[in-house]
Amino acid sequence: MRSSDQVYTAFGLAIILLAGCGRSVYEPMAGAHYRDPRVDLRGLGNVALVELANQTAYPEISKGVTEAAFAALQKRQVFGVKVIWAEDPAWRALGISTEIIPDPQDCARIRKALGCNGLLTGQVTEYRPFPHLMIGIRMRLLDLRDRQVLWGVEQIWDSSDKSVASRIKDYLSRQTRAKASSMAVHLTATSTLGFLQFVAYEVARTL
């Protein structure tokens, strides 16, 4: 196992073990996320969302997930957020891996270069467009001032799961303030863009 895999495996276990310690904001994601209950995330001010790394065979999916996450985080309005794409010269010049927690010197460099107090990174761990949509995401929010992980999520969403279908219905009803039709639920569950927007909504609700 690579050292980066070990770091994320440990991180995933921490989410499971510590989920009960954090304030649960969105019950359907209970057990799949961790939020430090001692910290008010609004105090971060600005957060840089780095384009998620891609572990799938679909090169463009990381951009789609990142864009959907950015939009959902903006609507959530917990902190200011800006997207840093993988090819951004300022980010590339830092030469920092998103798979490990940066050391104090690198945290200081990131804060200065990107003008942020928080760093939101992660990976698209799985994506299957057929026979039914499935997507896996792993993310974490790091406070660059003290290197503390304030929030993290690791989950796989499967559109064929009945509980996911039920949550899509609830999600659509909240967006339109009207009861979602079975056709609308079906379209969201079978459209990559629609499904990504639903997934991003669930992720943002855990903050």
Q: Which domains does the chain have, with CATH numbers?
A: 3-205 (3.40.50.10610)
Task: Please give the pLDDT value at position 171.
Answer: 94
- CB contact at 8 A, 58 and 71: no
Q: Give the global pTM.
A: 0.86
Task: Please give the pLDDT value at position 27.
Answer: 86
| Strand-pair category, 134-143 with 33-35 | unpaired
- CB contact at 8 A, 84 and 98: no
d(CA 41, CA 118): 9
Regions in the chain scoring below 50 on pLDDT? 1-24
Helices (H), the chain: 3-18, 61-76, 89-94, 104-114, 162-176, 182-190, 192-205
Task: Please give the pLDDT value at position 25.
Answer: 66
